[in-house]
């Protein structure tokens, strides 16, 4: 580097790099960037492959009956995960059934109903729900919600519908319904916050233009805002679904962990992630592989949901483009 003071020396280098400005001298920078990113990418790839590879003995042993088999009995070395898959889909469905209307409704309310000043406050409150750790949800669900469900909610639902499907089992507290409700509370902030972002980006001019044509607020929301925000809302729901499919700890604490077909909403059930959590530690090698297979099924389900979401987004974008 130059030793004479820069300003006095007419031969001072024009750049701090004595070799002159050159892309090649950037190599250290790019080496670090590529190196670190490559390292992380390698870890991820090893991780994903290890999960898939660890499940191979299970696929060899049970074949596709892992997916359509109805009995999960590690003592008899029978591993059929259909009831567990059904439990996963059912809890996610219950969660979405409540989370989509309430989440999108809250988002609409935050953006278009609340006075502007309150927007940040309520947005932060909704996002606060997302910050609560899942184990605290499980604790609250188990110690507060479950007794309430068993004593009030479930008998109430049963008597309203006359003990018919899907409310015919006796209330046990921990149940499919309770797990679905806890999941609903957990994915609500995801759907609400992302929908709010999508709804807020719909141009104000479109909103006001429709109003000026004489439409009522709901007509504007229905015909202008929601279609405009459709892409973001679909993305939000996709993310929420993926989260619900994979939630482990909170569900394990409130679902009863019984890998049988749930006969009603009040039965105990099991989900893919919670079964892995309960059984992994004391599993025989074949059982470990079967639990790895459950993980693979879970990843496949998540991938299907993401793919479906992307198709919906593409379809919306196409129709929005035509419009």
Partner 1 sequence: MKAGVIEGAPPDPMIERRELVQRVARQTLARRVRISRGIVALCGLALVLGLIPLFAILYSLISKGFRWLSVDFFTQTPQFPSLVDPNAIGGISNAIIGSLVIDGIAALFAIPIGLVAGLFLAESNSRFAGLLRKTAEIMTGLPSILLGIFAYQILVIGFNEWGIKLPGIGFSAVAGSFAIGILMIPIIMKAAESALRRVPAPVREAGLALGARRGVIARKVVIPTALPGLITAVLLALSRAVGETAPILWVIGASTVVNWNPKKQMASMPLQIFQSATSPYVSLRDETWGIALFLVFVVLVLNLGSRLFAGWLQRERR
Partner 2 sequence: MKMKRTVRLVLTTAVVVTSALSLAAVPGLAGASAAKATDHYLAADTRLNFSATISGAGSTFAAPLENAAQALYQARTANATLNGYQAVGSGTGETDLLKGLVDWGGSDVPLAQSDINKDEPSGSHFTVGQFLQIPIGLGGVAIPYNVPGLKAGTTLTMTASLLGWIYEGKITRWNSSKIKALNPKIKLPNAKIVVVARGDSSGTTYIFTNFLHVAAPNVWKTSPSKTALTLPNGGIAGAGNAGVAADVQNTKNSIGYVEYSYLLLNPSLLRGVAAIINKSRKAVLPSIAGIALAAAARPKVSSTAFSIVYEPGLKSYPIAGYTWAIIFKSNRTNDHEGTLLVKYLDWLSHSGAVNGTVAGQEVAALQGYVPLPAKIQVLARTTLLKCHGSHDQTLLTTNGS
The one among 51, 260, 312, 313 contacting partner 2 by CB under 8 A: 260
1: partner contacted, choices partner 1, partner 2, none (Cβ within 5-8 A by kind) = none
| Closer to partner 1 by Cβ: residue 103 or 171 | 103
Q: Is 292 in the site for partner 1 (CB under 8 A)?
A: yes
| Closer to partner 2 by Cβ: residue 114 or 260 | 260
Label residue 162 left, alpha or beta by phi (over 0 means left) and psi (-120 to 50 means alpha).
left
Q: Is 188 in the site for partner 1 (CB under 8 A)?
A: yes
Q: Is 253 in the site for partner 1 (CB under 8 A)?
A: yes
The one among 143, 201, 300, 320 contacting partner 1 by CB under 8 A: 143
16: partner contacted, choices partner 2, partner 1, none (Cβ within 5-8 A by kind) = partner 1
Q: Is 299 in the site for partner 1 (CB under 8 A)?
A: yes
Binding mask 149-178 for partner 1 (x = CB under 8 A): ------------------------------
| Closer to partner 1 by Cβ: residue 67 or 211 | 211
Closest distance of CB 275 from partner 1, Å: 10
The one among 66, 85, 86, 126 contacting partner 1 by CB under 8 A: 126
**ω into residue 109 within 30 of 0, thus cis?**
no
Q: Is 109 in the site for partner 1 (CB under 8 A)?
A: yes
The one among 2, 93, 135, 320 contacting partner 1 by CB under 8 A: 135
Q: Is 66 in the site for partner 1 (CB under 8 A)?
A: no
**Sole residue written with tokens 């892409």:** 231
3-state SS, one letter per residue, for the chain: CCCCCCCCCCCCCCCCCCCCCCHHHHHHHHHHHHHHHHHHHHHHHHHHHHHHHHCHHHHHHHCCHHHHCCCEECCCCEECCHHHHHHHHHHHHHHHHHHHHHHHHHHHHHHHHCCHHHHHHHHHHHHHHHHCCHHHHHHHHHHHHHHHHHHHHHHHHHHHCCCCCCCCCCCCCCCHHHHHHHHHHHHHHHHHHHHHHHHHCCCHHHHHHHHHCCCCHHHHHHHHHHHHHHHHHHHHHHHHHHHHHHCCHHHHHHCCCCCCCCCCCCCCCCCHHHHHHHHCCCCCHHHHHHHHHHHHHHHHHHHHHHHHHHHHHHHHHHHHHHC
**Sole residue written with tokens 């389900």:** 301
The one among 68, 218, 307, 308 contacting partner 1 by CB under 8 A: 218
Alpha-carbon span 54 to 85, nearest angstrom: 20
Q: Is 173 in the site for partner 2 (CB under 8 A)?
A: yes
The one among 105, 147, 156, 203 contacting partner 2 by CB under 8 A: 147
Closest distance of CB 139 from partner 1, Å: 5
Q: Judged by CB under 8 A, which stretch of 44-52, 76-84, 170-178, 313-321 contacts partner 1?
A: 44-52
Tell me the C-alpha to C-alpha distance, in Å, between residue 280 and each of 175, 252, 254, 292.
Answer: 22, 13, 18, 9
The one among 282, 321, 322, 323 contacting partner 2 by CB under 8 A: 282
8-67 residues near partner 2, rule: CB under 8 A: none
> Contacts with partner 1: how many residues (CB under 8 A)?
87
Positions touching partner 2 (CB under 8 A) are 71, 73-75, 146-147, 150, 169-174, 256-258, 260, 262-263, 267-268, 278-279, 281-282, 284-285
């Amino acid at each position: 580097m130059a030793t004479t003071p820069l300003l006095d020396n007419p031969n001072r280098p024009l750049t701090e790099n004595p070799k002159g400005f050159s892309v090649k001298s950037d190599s250290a920078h790019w080496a670090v960037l590529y190196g670190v990113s490559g390292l992380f990418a390698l870890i991820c790839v090893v991780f994903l492959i290890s999960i898939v590879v660890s499940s191979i003995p299970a696929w060899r042993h049970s074949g596709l009956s892992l997916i359509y088999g109805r009995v999960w009995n590690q003592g008899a070395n029978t591993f059929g995960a259909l009831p567990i898959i059904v439990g996963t889909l059912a809890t996610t469905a219950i969660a979405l059934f409540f989370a989509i209307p309430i989440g999108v409704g809250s988002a609409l309310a935050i953006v278009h109903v609340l006075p502007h000043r309150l927007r940040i406050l309520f947005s932060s409150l909704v996002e606060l729900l997302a910050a609560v750790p899942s184990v605290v949800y499980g604790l609250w669900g188990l110690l507060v919600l479950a007794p309430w469900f068993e004593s009030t909610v479930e008998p109430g639902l049963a008597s309203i519908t006359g003990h018919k499907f899907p409310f015919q089992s006796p209330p046990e507290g921990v149940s499919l319904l309770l797990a679905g409700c806890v999941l609903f509370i957990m994915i609500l902030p995801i759907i609400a916050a992302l929908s709010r972002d999508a709804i807020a980006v719909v141009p104000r001019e479109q909103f006001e233009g429709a109003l000026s044509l004489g439409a009522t607020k709901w007509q504007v929301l229905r015909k202008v805002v929601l279609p405009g925000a459709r892409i973001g809302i679909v993305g939000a729901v996709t993310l929420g679904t993926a989260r619900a499919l994979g939630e482990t700890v909170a569900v394990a604490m409130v679902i009863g962990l019984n890998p049988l077909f749930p006969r009603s909403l009040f039965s105990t059930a099991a989900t893919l992630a919670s079964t892995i959590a309960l059984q992994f530690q004391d599993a025989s090698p074949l059982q470990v592989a079967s639990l790895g297979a459950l993980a693979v099924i879970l990843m496949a389900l998540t991938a299907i949901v993401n793919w479906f979401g992307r198709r919906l987004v593409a379809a919306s974008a196409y129709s929005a483009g035509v419009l």
